[in-house]
Structure 1
Amino acid sequence: MPRVTRSDSATTAPVPEIDESQRFCRTCKSPVGRGRNGQPGRPRGFCTKDGTPFCFEPTLAESDSVDRYEIDRCIARGGQGWIYLGHDTHFDDTGGQRPVVLKGVIDSTDPDAIEQARQERRFLIEVDHPNIVKVNDFVRHPDPLTGTMAGYLVMEYIDGRTLLDLHREYRDDEGNRAPLPLPHVLAYGIEVLQAMAYLHEKGLLYCDFKPDNAMHTGDQLKLIDLGAVVRAESVPDSFLGTVGYQAPEVVDTGPTVASDLYTVGRSLAVLSFSFEGFTRQFRDRLPNRDDVPLLAANESYDLLLRRATHTDPAQRFTSAEQMSQQLEGVLLEVLAASDAHPRPGLSRVFTVEQRTFGTDTVVGDGRPGSQVDWSALVPALPTPLVDPVDPGAGHLAAIAAADPDSVVDALLAIPVDSPEIVLQLVGARIAAGQLDAAHQDLDVYAAKAPHDWRLSWYRGLGELAASRPREARPYFEQVYAVLPGELPPKLALAAAAEWDGDDDRAGPLYERVWRTDTRYVSAAFGYARVLERRGELTAAVAALDGVPEDNAQHTFAQVAAIRACLAPNLAKAELLEAGARLKRLPLGIERQAELSVEVFQAALEWVRHNEGVDGGGEVLGRRLADRQLRFGLEKAYRDLAGVTEDADRRIELVRTANRVRPRTLF
């Protein structure tokens, strides 16, 4: 996040007046303070229907004392009252007078109600988190107009801008008002969720999060308004919420952890794209993805917002920590896409790729061995991590068996029944080919945990193991929607889509995974295959060149790049590049000879179709001329014959070498 400081104009700006259309009696809800006959309405007075006093202007003035705090000025109007900047008249350790903010939270004629409110709000003083404004005190003061006692939270003064301020002030490169950059919004969301996670762990609910209630100061974000915070175990009959941000079920159920996360999701949406109508036709839903360019270009972010703001609370993220983890994954993906620099992250849900699939070939037009061995897919995909607090975790760690059948036997022998044991057994059964038994185990587990995303993951694996990629795809789509910040679901979905012949779905997913984390080498090969089929050979080679030299698959990637350069109708530059790559590549004699045959054959084909074209340059030490290339091809066949153990194949290779050898006088 960029550093932000509050401008002088912001700190001295006049407090906006409360529009007359927003003035209502707090008791009977009748309009009050309205103008007549061209004269403005009075900001103070009494309701003509029930006599309740009203006041729509600050009740405290400069130099007024509230307990030990002196008022400097009114700075804003909050949901429960006016907000004032003041200072503590008691000197701090440095001899200075600490600036504070006083926020009105209750106005009552009942002393007992004031005392009860004070006791109920004392818990906020114990809240201590770097992303939450510090509440220092709760004080009482008589209202100057009515004499009734008013309660104020006393909080630390934060010098910065609210997210709402930043959103309103942001301009694009052309000076036009625009939403905040997505990386900034995601970073803000992570910090907000860290604060939410702390509150939830303390048994507290924030209730009314929105961009107004978070302030960016320096390089940090803080929640600045704790006036709506309640205890989760004793939610009062009335609580605060804001239309457009509040979850739809709150009216019936009251605030919950799920409704808090909903407010964060809605706030992210408001900050990141032009969300017109979010308090009206879109008050309980998001626009269609295709109608919002940002969401159409960032599928993972779109899925995150849709899970966070799902109308069914059971379908939302289960905790602020879980949502934060997924938000972080989406942020890494967005950053990697923006500057082409990988952003590997640590998943708390999946292992990283330990094996690979499809790395021995790149699809070509009819070239031998061009098909992916999809039987290697399921064993190569990352696996869900075992929950360390699961009762069976210790037993699982003790299993030393390697082959799937032995693992199944070991799991069945464990005397503990737990979710992790059931799911590990399902995975072992799939690996052992016991697909019917795996499906039966999943059906039983689904009755106990219908919302566990691992049900869809293992059902998808089962379909892949049965060579049914089309049936597997919906399951991996479901996992992706639940865990939009994770890379393994995208990799699994990309592979299933490619196997099913859908390059339009597979290509962007492979690219997304590979751009974000180069440890997922299978994604590089998959992306290259898709690009090659599209005829984008330069991009395909670039993807393969991204495989690090210290990776075990680097040589395979370079071999694949060579073959990509040798596509039909290749240009001279591509032919020369293929030869140069092969010359640099440290390979055994047999592999070197096999690839040399492919390069020389492609070079001869190029010469035949380009008579009269400048043949300058060399391929594997041979000029681009028919005779020279034939000598090279002959030698490659003879080298191959020299290392071939099969006698019949050796004879055939020698005969082939004789056939391609150019005619000579000797």
Structure 2
Amino acid sequence: MKCTATPDCPGTIDADGYCDICGFPPRPATPEPTVCPQPGCTGALIDGRCTRCGATVGPQPAATPATGSVVSQGSAASRGSARSVRTGSSTSGSTRGRLGAGMVNVPRVPRIDPSEAVLQDPKVPEHQRFCGNGRCGRPVGRGRDGQPGRAEGFCTHCGAKYSFTPKLRAGDLLGGQYEVLGPLAHGGLGWLYLAVDHRLERRPVVLKGLLNEGDASAMQAAVAERRFLALVDHPNIVRIQNFTEHPGADGVPVGYIVMEYVGGTSLKQLLRRHRDIEGSYLPPDHAIAYILEMLPALGYLHSRGLAYCDFKPDNVMQTDEQLKLIDMGAVIAMDDQKSDVFGTPGYQAPEIAETGPTVASEVYTVGRTLAVLMMRVPAEHGRLGPLPGADTEPLLAQHDSLYRLLLRATDPDPDARFSSMEEMADQLTGVLREVLSLQEGRPHPGLSSRFGPPRKTFGVGDAVPDDPGALIAALPVPLVDPYDSAATLLASTSAVTPADLERELTAGLQSVVTARTESVELPLRLIRAALEFGDAADALRRLEEAELNDLLTDDWRLTWYRGQARLLERDWASAAAEFDTLYTALPGEPAPKLALAVTAELMAHHADGSDPAPARGRAAAYYDMVWRTDRTYTSAAFGAARLRRAAGDRRGAVEVLDQVDPASAVYTEARVAAVDTLLAVDRQGELTEPLLRDAGARISALVIDSNRRRAQARLRVLDAALQWLRLGRVPVEHAPLLDVPLDQNGVRTGLERCYRDLAHETDDLWERIALVEQANAVRPRTTL
């Protein structure tokens, strides 16, 4: 029988009633979901709670303790799939929790009553039984000829003893303190039992023992887990409370870890529930928010020299509005070269057998987990296969930055992945802002930890910004490390040219040689000075020198500045390649996307006979991505409007320009550009009276300090109105346009005034004469 637990699972249901790949029983028929009654919410109700907004509707049924109900704690993964041996914020009681840097509302998960979480029929399914000998790992305890397999016995291949039965029963008292209520769940390394602490008013706790105390490797892992858990103290990691012992069947004391009870639902169960009700994976903003919540916990372990090793949806549990890492059995010291490494194939990094656990291998598991939560990852040979591409997965095609983040996190080369959980969290937060901006239709700006804000706005108007020097002067600048040895000196310099800057810095350094050797910011500042001075050759020479500096090898800022140097050389393709590389490395940063957008626009503008459409399409996509997320990047607004206008989407261009904030320094320019776009008529008869009056109302509403700019703005509208009247058009409304009648005489009088105002404001004699002549030519004819 084919597995029906998940639509894409290729497994089959064994005789024990479970899938041989995903480990779940067949999915029972589910009633038709009820739509959430909350206004504006599209979620569905399950157990009286909305899967999207978290609102509670009606009475809440109690959780059932049967198999397949919400498991309170522990991984339900099989030993075979959970182990791969190598040879070497919460808020107050609100109805919705906010995760993902406080930007995402996720449904709350009610805490499961401990008494309802105990398994009524605690068994390890046969398809999850494997030999505990790390050198063997063969299937054991399997049924034959219709007869069930033995839960205890000896491996027929290596002779190792195995046991898959719980060792504690309800009523057992451990250490005179912990009364066992029953088994909760089984994981790759042991059984979990629910107990109550008699010394703390029967507070529920979890006892973790061994699945097979005869397995030396498992025993070693349990001892290591005790040692590691005793050192761990993080709000997103399950807390160890005590250790206790209880005599085994042979009278030998067996150790148990006493942990806090986390009554909730794992991300794997949340994913299955979402798929059952809505037929899809978790929304990307929810999945990212969950991962962001757990990255500090993993980073905390790394700071203590520990690797989690088995990060996956099964091992993250949500209770109310808090997430916790559970099942610490695979935790290992990163410098441990002797112990076995436990993990789950499909999530584990491919190099871990050779390198052992590293930060890079941990990043890989996080990337794989994020992908599994959001999309279908095809299975190969019973385990998760490669990530799908943007050509087959619509989510990745829609969110390019998210796709690039996943590619970097799961890069086959460990050195190409994120260097830390902090770096990954920083970039993932930026990606989340983009996802939310597209999803909600409003910007989600945030401060960058790598770049300063845009310095200027380039490309104002409808002309392609074809001056590389102006582009470099406008693009954001990488932030200076305040702890760099030359940071203070760099902040106090006023030189402009590279030569003057170098002399000033040299004079300010007590030890030139020492500072040049230790400072990373000093050579970068000199490269930047060469670029801003417009000397591409000098900048490239300094870049080559910087690449020889061990402290700067593969530094992302070298890529940023190399792209700018190629811009100065007008080598658009090479510049685009550099910025694209940086975009892949820093997918959450807007600066590389903005640079890539203008470079692609320049490639299209200088296509030289080749098809400009692909480059123009990339430019438009990157401009939109930046502007949609952060409205302080006004260069992106002008770029997006420029490309929309060129594509014939005049209304779309005006819509973008209208989004520029009134507090922006280029607000007036944006409104005038919107008027120019409205009046950009390519065919006779396209201009209408409503368009003219809309343009006039926009200019009238502007507060313009300069008489020259005011005259120029009025001139645009009145000139278009004169052309419209010359075509024989007759206005329907009798209201004035820019304070003049909408007829030949009125419009001509207004134009005459504009030309004379411009002539009055200019200091150039010949320009003044030309403007006066234009005023005389356009003035209405009289009989005097």
| TM-score, normalised with respect to structure 2 | 0.78
Alignment correspondent of 1:582: 699
Alignment correspondent of 1:473: 576
Whole-angstrom distance in 1 between the partners of 2:234 and 2:147 = 49
**SS, match of residue 227 in structure 1:** helix
Cα drift, residue 2 of structure 1: 2.6
Letter in 2 for 1:177: G
Alignment correspondent of 1:340: 441
Alignment correspondent of 2:405: 304
Whole-angstrom distance in 2 between the partners of 1:107 and 1:22 = 13
Cα drift, residue 618 of structure 1: 3.3
Q: 1:512 aligns with which of 615, 625, 632?
A: 625
User: Structure 1's 48 and 430: CA in aligned 2 closer, same or farther, altered over 3 A?
Assistant: closer
Q: 1:144-174: per-residue Cα shift (whole Å, max 9, x none)? A: 3x656544322111121111110000159xx
> Is the contact made by 1:208 and 1:242 (CA closer than 8 Å) also made in structure 2?
yes
Q: 1:391 aligns with which of 462, 480, 485?
A: 485
Check if 1:74 corresponds to 2:183.
Answer: yes
Select between 420-429 and 398-407 the one with higher mean Cα deviation: 398-407
Q: Indicate the RMSD between aligned Cα atoms, in angstroms.
A: 2.6
> Is the contact made by 1:114 and 1:149 (CA closer than 8 Å) also made in structure 2?
no
Alignment correspondent of 1:212: 314
Q: 1:83 aligns with which of 158, 180, 192?
A: 192
Check if 1:458 corresponds to 2:552.
Answer: no
User: Structure 1's 358 and 18: CA in aligned 2 closer, same or farther, altered over 3 A?
Assistant: same
Q: 1:505-553: per-residue Cα shift (whole Å, max 9, x none)? A: 1112112211211221211111111121122222222222222222211
Whole-angstrom distance in 1 between the partners of 2:587 and 2:122 = 41
Check if 1:230 corresponds to 2:336.
Answer: no
Cα drift, residue 244 of structure 1: 0.8
Whole-angstrom distance in 2 between the partners of 1:112 and 1:495 = 57
Alignment correspondent of 1:128: 233
Whole-angstrom distance in 1 between the partners of 2:221 and 2:698 = 79
Select between 108-117 and 214-223 the one with higher mean Cα deviation: 108-117
Letter in 1 for 2:641: A
Q: 1:155-196: per-residue Cα shift (whole Å, max 9, x none)? A: 111121111110000159xx4321111111111111111101
Q: 1:322-349: per-residue Cα shift (whole Å, max 9, x none)? A: 1011111111111122222222212111
Cα drift, residue 47 of structure 1: 3.4
> Is the contact made by 2:283 and 2:374 (CA closer than 8 Å) also made in structure 1?
yes
Alignment correspondent of 1:489: 592
Cα drift, residue 222 of structure 1: 0.9
Alignment of 1:355-374 (within 5 A): 355-359=456-460, 361-363=461-463, 373-374=467-468
Check if 1:262 corresponds to 2:356.
Answer: no
Letter in 2 for 1:375: G
User: Structure 1's 165 and 612: CA in aligned 2 closer, same or farther, altered over 3 A?
Assistant: same
Select between 20-29 and 384-393 the one with higher mean Cα deviation: 20-29
Cα drift, residue 606 of structure 1: 2.0
The answer to which structure has the higher helix fraction is 1
Alignment correspondent of 2:546: 445
Whole-angstrom distance in 1 between the partners of 2:764 and 2:138 = 98
Cα drift, residue 274 of structure 1: 1.7
> Is the contact made by 1:114 and 1:151 (CA closer than 8 Å) also made in structure 2?
no
Alignment correspondent of 1:376: 470
Whole-angstrom distance in 1 between the partners of 2:299 and 2:193 = 29
Whole-angstrom distance in 2 between the partners of 1:439 and 1:287 = 38
Whole-angstrom distance in 2 between the partners of 1:111 and 1:184 = 40
Letter in 1 for 2:674: A
User: Structure 1's 109 and 515: CA in aligned 2 closer, same or farther, altered over 3 A?
Assistant: closer
Alignment correspondent of 1:564: 677
Structure 2 unaligned residues grouped into runs of 5+: 1-105, 605-614
Letter in 2 for 1:572: E
Cα drift, residue 562 of structure 1: 1.8
> Is the contact made by 1:131 and 1:195 (CA closer than 8 Å) also made in structure 2?
yes
User: Structure 1's 342 and 162: CA in aligned 2 closer, same or farther, altered over 3 A?
Assistant: same
Alignment correspondent of 1:633: 751
Whole-angstrom distance in 2 between the partners of 1:154 and 1:101 = 6
Alignment correspondent of 1:423: 524
> Is the contact made by 1:76 and 1:84 (CA closer than 8 Å) also made in structure 2?
yes
Alignment correspondent of 1:137: 242
Check if 1:26 corresponds to 2:132.
Answer: yes
Whole-angstrom distance in 2 between the partners of 1:635 and 1:409 = 55
Letter in 1 for 2:591: P
Select between 111-120 and 506-515 the one with higher mean Cα deviation: 111-120
**SS, match of residue 107 in structure 2:** coil
> Is the contact made by 2:497 and 2:530 (CA closer than 8 Å) also made in structure 1?
no
Q: 2:417 aligns with which of 316, 319, 333?
A: 316
User: Structure 1's 518 and 30: CA in aligned 2 closer, same or farther, altered over 3 A?
Assistant: closer
Letter in 1 for 2:693: L
Q: 1:166 aligns with which of 267, 270, 277?
A: 270
User: Structure 1's 615 and 303: CA in aligned 2 closer, same or farther, altered over 3 A?
Assistant: same
> Is the contact made by 1:105 and 1:153 (CA closer than 8 Å) also made in structure 2?
no
Cα drift, residue 435 of structure 1: 2.1
**SS, match of residue 619 in structure 1:** coil
> Is the contact made by 1:531 and 1:539 (CA closer than 8 Å) also made in structure 2?
yes
Cα drift, residue 213 of structure 1: 0.6
**SS, match of residue 391 in structure 2:** helix
Q: 1:396-415: per-residue Cα shift (whole Å, max 9, x none)? A: 23323345553243345541
Alignment of 1:242-281 (within 5 A): 242-277=344-379
Alignment correspondent of 1:184: 286
User: Structure 1's 444 and 103: CA in aligned 2 closer, same or farther, altered over 3 A?
Assistant: farther
Cα drift, residue 436 of structure 1: 2.0
**SS, match of residue 38 in structure 1:** coil
Alignment correspondent of 2:258: 154
Alignment correspondent of 2:143: 35
User: Structure 1's 407 and 457: CA in aligned 2 closer, same or farther, altered over 3 A?
Assistant: same
User: Structure 1's 318 and 97: CA in aligned 2 closer, same or farther, altered over 3 A?
Assistant: same
Cα drift, residue 567 of structure 1: 0.7
Whole-angstrom distance in 2 between the partners of 1:563 and 1:391 = 51
Alignment correspondent of 1:435: 536
Cα drift, residue 443 of structure 1: 2.1
Whole-angstrom distance in 2 between the partners of 1:230 and 1:349 = 32
| TM-score, normalised with respect to structure 1 | 0.91
Letter in 2 for 1:423: L
Alignment correspondent of 1:295: 396
User: Structure 1's 287 and 281: CA in aligned 2 closer, same or farther, altered over 3 A?
Assistant: farther
Whole-angstrom distance in 1 between the partners of 2:165 and 2:221 = 27
User: Structure 1's 607 and 58: CA in aligned 2 closer, same or farther, altered over 3 A?
Assistant: farther
Cα drift, residue 21 of structure 1: 3.6
Q: 1:127-157: per-residue Cα shift (whole Å, max 9, x none)? A: 111111111223344443x656544322111
User: Structure 1's 650 and 299: CA in aligned 2 closer, same or farther, altered over 3 A?
Assistant: same
Whole-angstrom distance in 2 between the partners of 1:142 and 1:71 = 14
User: Structure 1's 112 and 631: CA in aligned 2 closer, same or farther, altered over 3 A?
Assistant: closer
Whole-angstrom distance in 2 between the partners of 1:455 and 1:515 = 28
User: Structure 1's 48 and 339: CA in aligned 2 closer, same or farther, altered over 3 A?
Assistant: closer
**SS, match of residue 439 in structure 1:** helix
Check if 1:531 corresponds to 2:648.
Answer: no
Cα drift, residue 249 of structure 1: 0.3
**SS, match of residue 495 in structure 2:** coil
Q: 1:108-129: per-residue Cα shift (whole Å, max 9, x none)? A: 4699996996477334123111
Check if 1:4 corresponds to 2:117.
Answer: no
Cα drift, residue 270 of structure 1: 0.1
> Is the contact made by 1:615 and 1:623 (CA closer than 8 Å) also made in structure 2?
no
